[in-house]
Amino acid sequence: MTTQAVAQRYYELIQMHQYAQIQNELYALDAVSIEPENDSNLPIIVTGIDALREKEGLFFSQVEEMHGSYMSEVVVSTFFFTMMTGMDVTMKGKQRKKKEQICVFEVRNGKIVKEQFFYDDFA
Q: Render 17-53 in DSSP notation, one character per residue.
A: T-HHHHHHHHEEEEEEEE--S-SS---SEEESHHHHH
- Output the CA–CA distances (angstroms, integers) from residue 118 to 23, 63, 68, 121, in the order listed: 20, 19, 20, 10
Output DSSP code: residue 78: S
Q: How many CB atoms lie within 10 A of CB 120?
A: 9
Domain count, the chain: 1
Examine residue 24 and state whether it is found in any structural domain, yes or no: yes
Question: Is the pTM above the cut of 0.85?
Answer: yes
What pLDDT shows up at residue 121?
65
Tens digit of each residue's pLDDT (9 = 90 or more) over 70-113: 999 999 999 999 999 999 999 899 999 998 999 999 999 999 99
Examine residue 123 and state whether it is found in any structural domain, yes or no: no
Domain that holds residue 63: 3-118
Q: Contacts by 38-44 with C-beta closer than 8 Å and gap 24+?
A: 38/119, 38/121, 38/122, 38/123, 39/121, 39/122, 39/123, 40/91, 40/122, 40/123, 42/122
What pLDDT shows up at residue 5?
98
Output DSSP code: residue 55: H
Examine residue 29 and state whether it is found in any structural domain, yes or no: yes
Examine residue 14 and state whether it is found in any structural domain, yes or no: yes
Q: What is the CATH number of the domain that holds 101?
A: 3.10.450.50
Close Cβ partners of 18 (under 8 Å, ≥ 6 residues apart):
none
Examine residue 23 and state whether it is found in any structural domain, yes or no: yes
- Between strands 111-118 and 27-34, the pairing is parallel
Examine residue 35 and state whether it is found in any structural domain, yes or no: yes
Band of the pLDDT at 123, cuts 50, 70, 90?
Answer: very low
